Amino acid sequence: MAVENPPVALITGAAHRIGAAITRRLHKEGLDIALHYHRSQAAAEALQDELEGRRADSVRLIQADLNALEQLTEMIQQIRQWRGRLDLLVNNASSFYPTPLEQLSVEQWDDLMGTNLKAPFFLAAAAAPLLRATRGAIINLVDIHAERPLKHHPVYSMAKAGNAMMVKSLARELGPEIRVNGVAPGAILWPEQEPSEQVKNEILSRTSLGRSGTPEEIAGTVRFLALDAPYITGQIIAVDGGRSVQQ
């Protein structure tokens, strides 16, 4: 039986990888999903079909370039027109690639800072009025490299450090109506250009659990912060198998 006026989550970068796992988990919990994508239209449509096969009219696709700030307010307006409410914003979308200093371009700087820092901040600001009305929440996907810089990724690491401070700053700015928290994944999914087995083993050897994590474990933590943590705000949970306690 459909729930009348169910809660609504906006998830950015939701068509693939961790974003898709978060989308599936929150949809399973009864939330309707505003599924944002940039270029991954086919994957977004396939995920919409999958989820609406379980609950009709429960997913709205929203295409936008998060680096085009004028499109962020349009995203929120689409949600307002679709459901008239927003209960959760998950800032998941992220660019990630190496930027060695000798090869760094201004375009790479703008992209990495834009998707990891600027866009999540301004999207949170645009979503705040709807989230206040529902006493909702914001969850940022941060990174353990916000505290431990990744070699050859200085711009990404700096952007995620700013993202981590955003969690704390917005928790102060938007409370008491809106809770703001973060999830910092460790070795969950390898980059599309996978490292060698030697590098993988070296990375996993630095975790206390000796294994990589799964997107579902990230999704479970997002679900906890969204639905079961009414007195938690301004916090970032590392889901990294104990990597952050190693030297």
| pLDDT score recorded for residue 193 | 63
| pLDDT score recorded for residue 1 | 39
The whole-angstrom separation of Cα 52 and Cα 163 is 32
Q: Give one DSSP letter per residue of 15-46, joined into a string.
A: SSHHHHHHHHHHHHTT-EEEEEESS-HHHHHH
| pLDDT score recorded for residue 206 | 79
Side chain identity at 13, as an amino acid letter?
Answer: G
The backbone torsions φ and ψ at residue 37, rounded to the nearest 5 degrees and listed phi first, read: -145, 160
Contact 170, 138 (CB under 8 A): yes
Contact 243, 143 (CB under 8 A): no
What's the sign of the alpha-carbon dihedral 63, 191, 237, 116? negative
pLDDT tens digit string along 204-238? 777 777 888 899 999 999 999 999 999 999 999 99
pLDDT tens digit string along 114-129? 999 999 999 999 999 9
- Domain 8-242 has what CATH class? alpha beta
- 247 vs 166, residue with greater confidence: 166
Could you tell me the pLDDT band of residue 195, with boundaries at 50, 70 and 90?
A: low
pLDDT over 70, % of the chain: 94
The whole-angstrom separation of Cα 184 and Cα 169 is 17
- 72 vs 245, residue with greater confidence: 72
The whole-angstrom separation of Cα 223 and Cα 18 is 13
**CA torsion, points 54, 226, 11, 146, in degrees to nearest 10?**
-140
| pLDDT score recorded for residue 239 | 92
Query: CB-hemisphere CA count at 13 Å for 217?
Result: 15
Q: Is the pLDDT of residue 184 over 60?
A: yes
Q: Which of 37, 97, 156, 231 is catalytic?
A: 156
* Helical spans, DSSP H, in 32-153: 41-52, 70-82, 106-113, 119-134
Q: What is the mean pLDDT of the chain?
A: 93
Strand-pair partners of 90: 11, 139
Please name which of 237, 118, 229, 126 lies closest in space to residue 179, comparing C-alpha atoms.
229
Question: Is 97 among the catalytic positions?
Answer: no
Among 1-10, 56-65, 195-204, 224-233, the minimum mean pLDDT is found in 195-204
| pLDDT score recorded for residue 146 | 94
Please name which of 125, 161, 126 lies closest in space to residue 142, comparing C-alpha atoms.
161
Query: CB-hemisphere CA count at 13 Å for 235?
Result: 13
Spell out the residues 6+ positions from residue 176 whose beta carbon is closer than 8 angstroms to its own. Answer: none
In angstroms, the Cα distances linking 53 to 33, 47, 80, 161, 245 are 14, 10, 24, 39, 42
In angstroms, the Cα distances linking 133 to 31, 170, 215 are 17, 17, 30
pLDDT tens digit string along 128-153? 999 999 999 999 999 999 998 989 99
3-class SS of residue 145: helix
